[in-house]
Amino acid sequence: MKSDLDFLTSGKWMNAAGTAGFFPSRGFLNHFPEIALFITNPISYHPRSPATQRNIIPFQGGFMVHSGHPNPGLKKVIHQFRETWENAILPVCMNVLSDEPYHIEKIVRSLESIENIAAIELAIDNSLKVSDIKTNIQAAMGELPIILSLPFEYVFQEWLGQTLIPEIVAISIQAPRGVLKHNEQYIHGRLYGRSIFSLTLHAIQHLTSFEIPIYAGVGVLHESQISSLLEKGAHNFQGHEIIWRNNP
Q: What is the 3-state secondary structure of 74-124?
A: HHHHHHHHHHHHHCCCCCEEEEECCCCHHHHHHHHHHHHCCCCEEEEEEEC
In DSSP notation, 117-172 reads EEEEEEEPPTT--HHHHHHHHHHH-SSS-EEEEE-GGGTT-TTHHHH--TTEEEEE
At 229, phi and psi to the nearest 5? -60, -45
Instruction: Look at residues 14, 164, 10 and name the one whose alpha carbon lies nearest to residue 93.
Output: 14
pLDDT exceeds cutoff 90 at 9: no
* Backbone angle region of 211, left / alpha / beta, with phi > 0 → left and psi within -120 to 50 → alpha: left
What type of residue is 98? S
Q: Provide the mean pLDDT of the chain.
A: 92
Pairing relation of β-strands 146-150 and 117-123?
parallel
Give CA torsion, residues 107, 137, 35, 246, to 10 deg.
80
pLDDT exceeds cutoff 70 at 3: no
125-182 residue pLDDT tens: 888 899 999 999 999 999 999 999 999 999 999 999 999 999 999 999 999 999 998 8
| Inter-residue contact 115 to 81 (CB < 8 Å) | no
pLDDT exceeds cutoff 80 at 233: yes
66-109 residue pLDDT tens: 887 889 999 999 999 999 999 999 999 999 998 899 999 999 99
pLDDT band at 1 (very low <50, low <70, confident <90, very high): very low
**What CATH architecture applies to the domain 6-50+69-175+194-246?**
Alpha-Beta Barrel (3.20)
What ranges do the domains of the chain cover? 6-50+69-175+194-246
202-218 residue pLDDT tens: 999 999 999 999 999 99
Surface-to-core class of residue 237, CB atoms within 10 Å of its CB (0-12 exposed, 13-18 middle, 19+ buried): buried
What type of residue is 15? N
Percent of the chain with pLDDT over 70: 97
Please name the residues in contact with 84: beta carbons below 8 A apart, sequence gap of 6 or more: 23
Percent of the chain with pLDDT over 90: 81
Please name the residues in contact with 90: beta carbons below 8 A apart, sequence gap of 6 or more: 24, 29, 35, 36, 37, 38
Distances (CA, A) of 68 to 23, 111, 122, 243, 248: 20, 23, 16, 19, 23
pLDDT exceeds cutoff 70 at 15: yes
Euclidean distance between CA atoms 220 and 75, whole angstroms = 34
